Structure 1
């Protein structure tokens, strides 16, 4: 329980033993058997004011009576619970300490006059110590420790959230210079509450951190707040190693000492403040002088024209650049020189108007004005106006004017350059994109058409978002404008617009300054049309070569074919003539062979005819053709092929007449309808559709034939206009139909193209120019 214990029995208990203890614990059996030792020591026990605690095994008279006979102060009955023992020991301790305090009080009452005399002497000593706070604090700590009979004293000051022990004496020297959180100590609580706090026994005071007090052997503590100018700034503390060391007179003494220290601290602080104020005033005067010098130096070496006016419009200050600009003599009083004497009337009127507006609004303003030099050269100035006040509150107008003549000229030149640049970029047929390594900053109209999106949907997105996924790695190095060594600056990249499809473009990039910051400009040229032209040129060259070959082959075959056809006709006639002379059925087999031979020869004749058609030039003079009539005619001719395979849908709009031949164009449409029908199996007309549409488009008429047939692969689609290429079985098609259609359409200045997807059908598109009434006559 935190007490030292001395164990002795019978004769071992002596007067020396009694002097070591505060509480004597005796058992009832010891009193019964050896009562003579207690009687012998009774006088020593009373003289030492030692409390006696008896211990009985039961409440029986034979157990309790011996204890009462020897006059125990209290007794306990078995079983002896620790809490009961602690309560009895504490009670007896309090009685002992109360006796001690009474004695101390009687002694202190006799020495109260000496204590007051000591406090007065302390006050005189503080006055002699001057304003050195460390000396004053140590003096008060030592006197407080002596007057209150303490083992140690300390002065703690509040610094932020910590208690700083600035001066410590006696047993408290161990805390010298320590910094402890304010809320963690009883001394800190005294400061926070602003009230005196005393602990008679730290072991039993819940306000005290008992483990810390025990570690530093502190049993009694008295804390008095230090106040300066009615504000708590610290604490004066005294401590003792025994409990109940301090009484009420000690509290009053420590409060008086704390008052003396607080007054001394106030005097020192006031003196320090006066010294600081004097130092600050001196510094301010010096700073003002330096500031004035710097201000004058700054204004006089600044290229701007600076001035100040009072509310009457008189100029009370002008810097050196102002004087030089207007040619004013050095040292002249500017308040005596009116504006009218140094500037034209119209300039003065404009400046006065701006000055008046600034005075009336009281707000800073900025304006531009033209002020001529004394030689008459006009200069453009940007003037900042503001209101300033002196110490008495008078208002002045401050003005700072910057010569912006050269800047305005440069801005105008830059504006014209930017307008030219923007007009060039906006009108460029190439797609232009500008970025700084990420989101697009600018796109021209061609770029919007290129990606088929408006500008507000492109700006802010990365150009890589529209690049074909497989080309993004290659494109990244070119789009940033910093190609690696040896890498070309121009690349072909595939793009994938949001609307669908893939197109190939030639891109290049370069670094430039855009909106005042480095950026990258990327230009893109759509190669789709070029590739189509190249493909058409290849096809045309191929068709020309094949046409030349076809013309020769047709000519060479046609002559012997004429003999074969003539001879077959003769044989047929002769065979019919002699058939009556022979038995019946004798020539049946010969007639079948001859009929098959005639079919084969006719087949050859048709192929030769197609070759001649394919190879010969356009000898017909184009005329105005009504495509609506052409479509109706072709549909009528193909009705037999179409009705068992698909539902025919006609979507015809009014279109202009086109240049061409009605028969040749009808041949083309009929061929496309027959091909569409052959792409659809028979017997499913209700599940398939062939749609023929006619619509105008940019001075052209467009015919589309769309089917829901089997479709074509990309490889087949790329060769459909090649001569003799066909996917039909041998003997069903010659592979010349679409080649002839291609030649007819291009011969009339039109275009024919196709799109297809396997399993979803095909679409053939014909575009023909509108008929021109004024034509050049062909010669040759």
Structure 2
């Protein structure tokens, strides 16, 4: 180790100061080392740039018990000391690479180069350099690691097309043993008829500026062959031509491409020959793909639908919005009525799911399977209608039997009521008020008797005897009988023309119609509101104006005769009103909006039947919260 005090150089001259300054600018450390006869090692002088490279001052570098400097990595100390003693024994140059640990705890590589000489006193002295070789060692390590762990095969070929070097992947793919690749002609690694890499470079202009790509057949040492995709690059070094070949075994890729081609062929065949319509569309409805079956469902199949919008055929109200479409892996189904160019009525069942058609798309596409269920829908609708008609017929038959029995019993009870009231009116002396009341009882009993007779006639399928009667008088009789029975919280307004108007029918049936309508109005107003009863003559021009033009919605009064006068009887209330769906079904048998036990759903159905039997029609005007107005229009009897 360095000794205190000035060094004793004996016959050795100290280094020249100019040389020390030159060495200070290099990434190397100059030193002098001596091996004394007692076997100890000393470093009498170390250049000052050791501080810059190692982080230790020269005087801080000590020699350990094993003969190595303290900065030498522990794993290299024995090797370094053995190299020093071997150089001293043979007086041969000492060239050894070793690692050191700097003051910053960094491992660096030094390369020692020194020549020994033996002095007369038995000492062996070396003057040498430690060159900082860290960068080249790390670069070589990274290069070696990259080459050995690369998945691509890498060959370096000489100008005679023999392999000078290859990496581990090349040895593994081509089945080459250790040391077998060096000097091997590259032609033995390719199939017959394949061009050599040098020929490819020579035939291709500008090959020095860009690599050449080619697929070829590789041949392993066991004789098996495989597809090999390679890139050939020209390399000129020291005036000599070399070639770098980089490639990989593409057997898996070829198998995957073949399987994908087979799968695509099967999928395309299924897509073309499927009986269901198949559509791939974007979220905005643009059709991206469609099969021939769907094109035939839309038209004649001669016009492609790609680029058109599905919303032109299927209304957006049928298809769910993008936010409500289930995620990929889940599907939705719906039945819709498309609007086809030919205007034909169709019913489609659409089953759809979202999926990513392309990996680079911002949003997924929709895959739709379209089935034409027109015939099935019609058959199902007809079956439901037949079943409903059968069910309603059975109910009507049972109700008719029940109504016949009830009407018969009511007829038996009405006889004593009418007879008793007439006896009181003829024999008892009554004041004017009670006399009026008794007259009302007799009139109500007679009307009830007519209603019961009508029910019995209907149940027994008897024909009604109809004749002209004054509808104005029947209207007045009904109002005189019905208005006093209404709650006092319902205000009644009567609007009628004084002229006598003749219609064909039965007064009792007309009063039955009005009674049903008034009872419904009373229930709709919940006992509080205004009931308006009207009767007026309706001229043909006024009726035509009320019906409207060709673009107006259908009106039940449109089926009446265009010429001739009619009478209009109206019943209006200020009740809760009806929405469009309820108005469409109010005349259906057994349909009612009343709670269970408060309505049978037959009242308006009977009303419509009686009005039609009298040659007239009935219409309703209503809206939610706006009340309801029923209009009965009957043809007048000619004078």
State the TM-score, normalized to the length of structure 2: 0.34
Question: More helix per residue: 1 or 2?
Answer: 1
Give the structure, 1 or 2, with the largest relative contact order (CA under 8 Å, sep 6 or more).
2
- Rg larger for: 1
State the TM-score, normalized to the length of structure 1: 0.29
